[in-house]
Structure 1
Amino acid sequence: MHAPTAAPPFELRNAYFDKLCNTPGLMWLGQNTNHFDPHPSVIDAAIEALRDGSYHAYAPPAGFEELRKLIVEDVGVPGMSAFVTDGAVEALYNVCSNFCEPGTEFVTTDPSWAWPMHFARKAGSTVVELPIYDAAQGYKLTPEQLRAAVSEHTRVIYLVDPNNPLGTCHTSEEIKAFTDIARSVGAYFIHDATYAQFADGFSPALQYYPEKSILTYSFSKWLGLAGLRLGAVIANPDIIETIATSPPNNLGSNVVSQRAAIAGLKTKAEWFPTILERLRANQTAVYEAVQKIPGLHIPVYPSNANLLVIETVEAGVNPEALVAAYQQEGVMIRQGTYHTKRFGERFVKVSLTVPEAWVQHFCELLPAMVDKARQSTTSGPLF
């Protein structure tokens, strides 16, 4: 008889999210997903793609030409090329697999989004994390900090802008300075623009460093297609040619998703400004609720992403305990350690492109959840 073994971590992680996905009425305030309704034409386009049977055929390997053109226009980088992917995470995996290699360095911020670091390490690169959780530097990377970190070994500089989870956004002057630094050592500059649609101002690095900048684009956040998995890589045609040689999926991305994305981009000007207004109002509601709890603090407000970080350490609250308390009430928020081991014990993250009723419920629960979390510093595994 073999002794029973513990479930592998990936089984635990999958079961954790499966439980969340199968929780009726769960309020998703933890994954930065957009739960506002899009323009009706987006739903109509997806339904029509099912009704007309076009999903039976593979899409073009780089995406429908109409969608590729609309993506480049939306970012505002004429002359660049878009390669459509099964979500922006696949885009990042493809880019890291092609440009990271043993003996090179992958420079990024801390906090940032964790998965590209895993991709870089798998490809053999050494990951260098530059701490930015500091009010003195505005909670974002500085040119001086980056300049001191790069060398002839730097192959890739990876910047999430606006930052996830902090919500800070870089100025055009800062982006130009970063690309000048990348150019000085011949590094690729990956500009992760997942949250660019929510920013008051966004400057794509491709404007300043077209030869080696790579922008990754997501439809999960602004258009709300997270479960339909659609994103893109945007770069000059030579770089796109490289990543198109052996992509994770060479048979084209989801036809239904692409049709929905085309409709979303065509109608964006009609409906997305309202999404931004509702997001800003939700941010204000959470900010005001947090102000009433001694010890809680929002370091970046307003946020240029669809989220807020809430510091809990001065309130004597363990972030994991607060996450667990909210989950018992059918509300998902995210612990800081998902993003950063160095600073994660300081905060939770709350996503706010969600119905106003969800935000109201979160705010109403906040005093009781803080009290409950203070009495419990342990919870089951969180991912």
Structure 2
Amino acid sequence: MIQPKKYAKATKTAPKGFKSANEFFKHVFNNKEMIWMGQNTNHLHKENEIMDAMINCVESKEYYKYPPPEGLSELKKLILEDLKLEDMDILITAGGTESLYLTMNDILEPNDNVITCDPGYLIIDNFASRFSNQVISVPIYSSENDYKLTLDLVKENMNENTKIIVLIDPLNPLGSCYTEEEIKEFAKIAIENDIFLLHDITYRDFAREHFLAANHAPNNTITIYSFSKIFGMAGLRIGSIIGSNEIINSVRTILINDLGTNVIAQRGAIAAIKSKHNWLNEITNTTRNNQKLIKDCVDGINGIFIPVYPSDGNMLAIDLKATGIDPEDIANYLLKKKIFTRQGTYTSKLFGDNYLRVSFSVPEKQVKIFVKEFKKAVEVLRK
């Protein structure tokens, strides 16, 4: 008999009408007419250098070979230059998710605790729970703290066993972002208490302004970098983990993927960073206009609001609590209209019945369809 694993992953709840989460994702993935506003993926890239680089990699049959286990040197150099962290060390990983797992696995001991926030990216909590004694998920869904983790909230919840403070910046699902002064404060508390900041910057390039904790606490910060969002490469699973040489040397000892990360994705990632100046403004202009279309829609409906606007990510939350509408019901309604969104329970254990999360890095015409159908959904479900 196979025994359950000590750190077994929590089972994902299948949406209504589906036997499993995998069956649900297979449904939305295979439906070519689906408007994809449920996973913060970026659908705004046109045929460009990124695609060409990957096609060239395939045509040259470079993928026959294993790449260097820590990543292509050119890619590592480009990421560090992109962040202006050339003095740091780096490993290429199979997406930011692998970087998050490696961080928790390497740093945490059984007596440690980790401070995260709710709402937040619950996969981080899941990973932290496997290697620590406790995950302290701090409620932040309030205008009193600008819908983000604050220094005061951290001080209220940390103790002598706190090892990691997690900053998702900008925050999935709300789009809240940290100021430079706030980042400096977190860096100071990390240094003074000899603990780590896990700075997940997956949505950094969508933000109006963004500041790196590594600039203020280089020896206490682990930076998580992903190509899934602004670069539009979610399905290629590529990212990196960045830290001091001491931190990254320690992570090297627990690498599982020692035959390297997808070389086709790495070639695409190299081209993505090199070409970013050509397309970044167009994508951010589109996303900012798209979220304004959503905001104008929401402002015209009684009983709902957007907690954080403008969002500094490519997603936002729409609070439905006052209407009495269950976010799961509206997500299911929209799914029947071929619009994929996510109910709040995907990113919050405490406030999941408050909001619907909607990402908007899709063509404007699709956002206009969403706006139209969302209005209808509220009218129908209110009745």
One-letter identity of the residue aligned with 1:67: L
Counterpart among 177, 184, 191 of residue 176 in structure 1 = 184
Q: What residue number does 2:249 align with?
A: 241
Kept after mapping to 1: 8 A contact 2:120/2:173: yes
Distance 1:39 1:193, change over 3 A: farther
Query: Does residue 1:346 correspond to 2:354, yes or no?
Result: yes
Structure 2 Cα separation of the partners of residues 373 and 362 of structure 1 = 16
Kept after mapping to 2: 8 A contact 1:39/1:264: no
Counterpart among 41, 56, 59 of residue 33 in structure 1 = 41
Structure 2 Cα separation of the partners of residues 310 and 250 of structure 1 = 42
Kept after mapping to 1: 8 A contact 2:114/2:132: no
Kept after mapping to 1: 8 A contact 2:344/2:355: yes
Counterpart among 323, 326, 337 of residue 331 in structure 2 = 323
Counterpart among 243, 258, 269 of residue 266 in structure 2 = 258
Query: Does residue 1:24 correspond to 2:29, yes or no?
Result: no
Kept after mapping to 2: 8 A contact 1:38/1:224: no
Query: Does residue 1:371 correspond to 2:379, yes or no?
Result: yes
Kept after mapping to 1: 8 A contact 2:113/2:162: yes
Q: What residue number does 2:3 align with?
A: none
Note the residue ranges of structure 2 that are not aligned, 5 or more in a row: 1-9, 13-18
C-alpha deviation, 1:9, in angstroms: 4.6
One-letter identity of the residue aligned with 2:76: R
Report matched runs for 1:16-95 at 5 Å.
16-38=24-46, 40-95=48-103
Kept after mapping to 2: 8 A contact 1:39/1:271: no
C-alpha deviation, 1:373, in angstroms: 2.8
The count of residues paired between Structure 1 and Structure 2 equals: 368
One-letter identity of the residue aligned with 1:269: H
SS at match of 2:353: helix
Query: Does residue 1:279 correspond to 2:278, yes or no?
Result: no
Structure 1 segments of 4+ aligned residues over 6 angstroms from their partners? none
Structure 2 Cα separation of the partners of residues 248 and 107 of structure 1 = 26
Structure 2 Cα separation of the partners of residues 125 and 370 of structure 1 = 42
Structure 2 Cα separation of the partners of residues 271 and 121 of structure 1 = 39
Q: What residue number does 2:20 align with?
A: 12
SS at match of 1:140: coil
Q: What residue number does 2:121 align with?
A: 113
Kept after mapping to 2: 8 A contact 1:295/1:316: no
State the superposition RMSD in angstroms.
1.3
SS at match of 1:95: helix
TM-score, L = length of structure 2: 0.94
One-letter identity of the residue aligned with 1:65: S
Kept after mapping to 2: 8 A contact 1:63/1:84: yes
One-letter identity of the residue aligned with 2:138: L
Q: What residue number does 1:131 align with?
A: 139
Kept after mapping to 2: 8 A contact 1:193/1:216: yes
One-letter identity of the residue aligned with 1:273: N
SS at match of 1:344: coil
SS at match of 1:298: coil
Structure 1 Cα separation of the partners of residues 32 and 180 of structure 2 = 44
Distance 1:124 1:138, change over 3 A: closer
C-alpha deviation, 1:51, in angstroms: 0.3
Deviations 1:34-85 (A, max 9, x none): 0111561111000000000011111111111010011011112220122110
Q: What residue number does 1:232 align with?
A: 240
One-letter identity of the residue aligned with 2:82: D
Counterpart among 328, 343, 349 of residue 335 in structure 1 = 343
Structure 2 Cα separation of the partners of residues 330 and 296 of structure 1 = 23
C-alpha deviation, 1:315, in angstroms: 2.0
Structure 2 Cα separation of the partners of residues 304 and 270 of structure 1 = 21
Q: Identity rate of aligned residues, in percent?
A: 38
Q: What residue number does 1:206 align with?
A: 214
Q: What residue number does 2:296 align with?
A: 288
Structure 2 Cα separation of the partners of residues 13 and 247 of structure 1 = 28
One-letter identity of the residue aligned with 1:351: S
